[in-house]
Amino acid sequence: MPASEVLRQRCVANLAAVRDAVAEACGRAGRAPAEVTLVGVTKYVNADLARLLLEAGCTDLAESRPQELWSKAAALAGLGARWHLVGHLQRNKVRRTLATGALVHTLDSLRLREALDMEAGAAGCTCDVLVEVNVSGDPGRSGVAEAEAETLVSAAAASRHLRLRGLMAMASHPDGPASDARRDFARLRALRDRLAAGAAEPAQLRELSMGMSGDFAAAILEGATMVRIGSALFAGLGT
């Protein structure tokens, strides 16, 4: 069997296994699997392996570095990928990132909000964003502090060229005990619920992007609508 076919079959099997695990977690939470979007994080693989995942049926793909997002979006143009940026975005990289149509999961400051809104207006487009919240309070983590989240959420919601879709967070210890991850994810859900209760348009906070390969089941139990999976999708593919 050609090596390319071996890789393709492994990718298909990995995707099926992850989808089964998502469905199992949804069952435990009393939720439908369709409520959770599987976002395949391609930051550790090249464009050819990312293409295999896309062809296997995972159409939501993500990158952590804007330059990699630009490159892979160009390489896979026309194949139906929906792109996500899940890493830090510097203001000088906003313009090229907007050109990919990516959902930005990492809006973490008023200055970035201003840059995104201005550049989207200049480009005549609308940028979908999630506000990233540092729910653990760890100074080594990115994201706006929980106490400051309402200000940033309100500013994003009022922006002319941004479409606020929800919140994003990482667990303080993604590879730690599931109970710790659930605690962090529960905090994000509770924050979203508080903010949505006072929002003019609660639907703007529908999405909760939380959970990665090691803790996505805990995230689903706490209401995640997007899980960001990388290593579990590319196991055995030489990454």
Instruction: Establish how many alpha carbons lie within 13 A of residue 234's alpha carbon, considering only the half-sphere containing its beta carbon.
Output: 23
Closest CA to 62 of 237, 233, 239: 233
Position of tokens 């605690």? 183
Look at the pTM and tell me if it is higher than 0.75.
Answer: yes
**pLDDT greater than 70 at residue 66:** yes
What number is the average pLDDT over the span 87-91? 97
146-167 confidence digits (pLDDT tens): 999 999 999 999 999 999 999 9
Write the CA distances from 80 to 6, 201, 220, integer angstroms: 23, 30, 26
User: With contact defined as beta carbons under 8 Å apart, do 69 and 102 qualify?
Assistant: yes
Quick one: pLDDT band at residue 72, thresholds 50, 70, 90?
A: very high
Domains of the chain and CATH, by start: 3-233 (3.20.20.10)
User: With contact defined as beta carbons under 8 Å apart, do 10 and 18 qualify?
Assistant: no
> What is the C-alpha separation between 121 and 214, in angstroms, rounded?
38
**pLDDT greater than 80 at residue 173:** no
104-143 confidence digits (pLDDT tens): 999 999 999 999 999 999 999 999 999 999 998 888 788 9
**pLDDT greater than 90 at residue 203:** no
> What is the C-alpha separation between 103 and 82, in angstroms, rounded?
8
